[in-house]
């Protein structure tokens, strides 16, 4: 699964870079590519969602090592559990809001202006990624002593 995440996120970043490069070069040579930003947005959303899940899987989110490293081992473990719980609650709130917006906007069949990227599909990708992140955090909370 980790290899699939790295390949998906890496491909999305490469696609965003290639699209942006083509857009910049096109503007400079007088052949602008209309809608390139609308195509970059799904790539960045995918890369960001994968990065969020990857950082959660690897437990490599930002930490204040200055504090955590000075705590006794038992207290450091408690601090990590509290951080995981707080993160799970935060992402649950984000997911609830995102689902609310997605449900509210679903009947409108939103699309980007130039290329027609369906925003509903991107909301589904983001929500699945946030849900997967919550699941990883909750599993870690249940398994950690």
Residues 37-96 have pLDDT tens digits of 999 999 999 999 999 999 999 888 777 778 888 889 889 889 889 999 999 999 999 999
pLDDT at residue 145 tops 70: no
Long-range contacts formed by 15-24: CB under 8 A, 24+ apart: 15/43, 16/40, 16/43, 16/44, 16/47, 19/43
Instruction: For the chain, give the percent of residues with pLDDT over 70.
Output: 99
Q: Higher-confidence residue: 18 or 65?
A: 18
Of 10-24, 38-52, 100-114, least confident by mean pLDDT is: 100-114
pLDDT of residue 109: 84
Read off the pTM.
Answer: 0.86
Mean pLDDT of the chain: 91
Cα torsion 75, 79, 80, 82: sign: positive
pLDDT of residue 112: 87
pLDDT at residue 7 tops 80: yes
Q: Break the chain into its structural domains and give their ranges.
A: 2-143
pLDDT at residue 98 tops 70: yes
Calculate mean pLDDT across residues 121-126: 94
Distance CA 65, CA 5 (A): 27
Distance CA 68, CA 79 (A): 7
Cα–Cα separations (whole angstroms), residue 145 to 64, 75, 139: 21, 12, 12
Q: Of all helices (H) and strands (E), which one includes residue 74?
A: helix 73-105
């Amino acid at each position: 699964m980790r290899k699939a995440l790295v390949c998906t996120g890496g491909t999305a970043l490469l696609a965003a870079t290639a699209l942006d490069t083509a857009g910049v070069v096109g503007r400079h040579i007088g052949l602008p590519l209309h809608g390139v930003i609308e195509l970059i947005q799904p790539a960045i959303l995918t890369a960001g969602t994968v990065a969020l899940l990857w950082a959660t899987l690897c437990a490599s989110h930002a930490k204040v090592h200055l504090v955590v490293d000075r705590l006794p081992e038992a207290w450091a473990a408690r601090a990590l559990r509290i951080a995981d719980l707080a993160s799970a609650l935060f992402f649950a709130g984000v997911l609830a809001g995102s689902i609310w917006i997605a449900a509210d906007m679903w009947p409108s069949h939103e699309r980007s202006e130039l290329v027609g990227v369906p925003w509903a599909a991107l909301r589904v990708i983001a929500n699945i990624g946030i849900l997967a992140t919550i699941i990883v955090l909750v599993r870690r909370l249940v398994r950690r002593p």
